[in-house]
């Protein structure tokens, strides 16, 4: 029943999965969870007939995905003209080692987001977006650091893409081997993979009495 209540991002002809549609997910909650866990997105667009796919960081606020960068950025200046863009986020969850070369695969959760981005010029929204980008990386960090100056705000461009046309795709579990390969003499299974940060390395100039922020802990293994 819970699923019946889930808000769906309506599939369109462009986002409906044709390949392995069972792996598709259109619940807004699922899409948001993948976007919130990812740290890097890839922005694909065509400029002067040449496709580019540019990696960058991002943050989500409600139904908007925000990217930021230098006001001189070719990518951002191109995209603010509401050029069609495709943004993807991929979480790699595992390596799937099948008995045949053919059936090797990966476990993942990924989102494909289509649309057009618009420049955020309203000062409060722009500041909230920049805060979200910093908080996405290390929760609690915004309150600790020097806020941006007027000059830094001027030199920074922020774009917002509505999360309105999007799909998620998820693969989980082990290999799907052909029945006739089940006796092939090799190991088969999957190797879970996750992103792990190591212990933070303080800058040599850090003032005494300032430990690494607790906000990075979710990525850090065995870090107390
Ligand atoms: C880490 C990783 C490794 C992969 N390795 C392979 C591989 O080696 N070979 C391979 O063929 N495929 C691989 N895939 C799956 C790949 O992303 C595509 O889903 C698949 O190739 C089908 O592409 P298509 O254009 O035919 O899909 P279609 O089903 O025709 O795509 C239609 C729409 O479905 C949605 N969609 C498709 N794929 C995704 C996705 N991954 N996430 C969210 N929405 C999606 C998009 O909105 C797209 O416009 C991998 C995916 C990930 C994340």
Q: Whose CA is nearest to atom 3 of ligand 1?
A: 106
β-strands 50-57, 40-47: how paired? antiparallel
Q: How far apart are CA 144 and CA 131, in angstroms?
A: 11
- Looking at residue 121, its pLDDT comes to 97
Q: How far is the CA of 29 from the centre of ligand 1 (A)?
A: 20
For the cut 50, the answer to whether the pLDDT of residue 17 exceeds it is yes
Report the chain's mean pLDDT, rounded to a whole number. Answer: 93
Tell whether ligand 1 has an atom less than 6 A from the beta carbon of residue 92. yes
Number of H helices, E strands in the chain: 5, 11
Q: 103 in helix, strand or coil?
A: coil
pLDDT 10s digits, 181-194: 999 999 999 999 99
Average pLDDT value for residue range 153-162:
97
Contact in structure between 215 and 144 (CB atoms under 8 Å): no
Q: What is the pTM of this model?
A: 0.94
For the cut 70, the answer to whether the pLDDT of residue 217 exceeds it is no
Ligand 1: residue of 34, 37, 110 to mutate (most ligand atoms within 8 A of CB) is: 110
Atom of ligand 1 nearest to the CA of 111: 43
């Amino acid at each position: 029943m819970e699923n019946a209540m889930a808000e769906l991002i309506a599939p369109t002809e462009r986002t409906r999965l044709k390949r392995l549609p069972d792996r598709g997910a259109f619940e807004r909650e699922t899409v948001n969870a993948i976007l919130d866990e990812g740290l890097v997105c890839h922005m694909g667009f065509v400029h002067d007939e040449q496709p580019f796919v540019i990696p960058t960081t991002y943050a989500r606020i409600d139904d908007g995905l925000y990217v930021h960068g230098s006001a001189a950025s070719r990518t951002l200046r191109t995209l603010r003209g509401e050029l069609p863009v495709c943004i993807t986020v991929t979480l790699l969850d595992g390596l799937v080692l099948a008995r045949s070369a053919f059936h090797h695969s990966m476990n993942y959760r990924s989102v494909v987001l289509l649309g057009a981005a618009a420049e955020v010029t309203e000062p409060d929204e722009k500041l909230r977006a920049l805060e979200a980008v910093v908080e996405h990386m290390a929760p609690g960090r915004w309150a600790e650091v020097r806020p941006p100056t007027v000059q830094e705000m001027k030199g920074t461009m922020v774009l917002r893409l509505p999360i309105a046309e999007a799909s998620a795709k998820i693969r989980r579990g082990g290999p799907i081997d052909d029945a006739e390969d089940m006796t092939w003499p090799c190991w088969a299974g999957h190797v879970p993979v996750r992103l792990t940060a190591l212990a933070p390395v303080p800058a040599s100039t850090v003032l005494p009495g300032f430990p690494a922020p607790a906000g990075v802990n979710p990525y850090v293994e065995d870090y107390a």
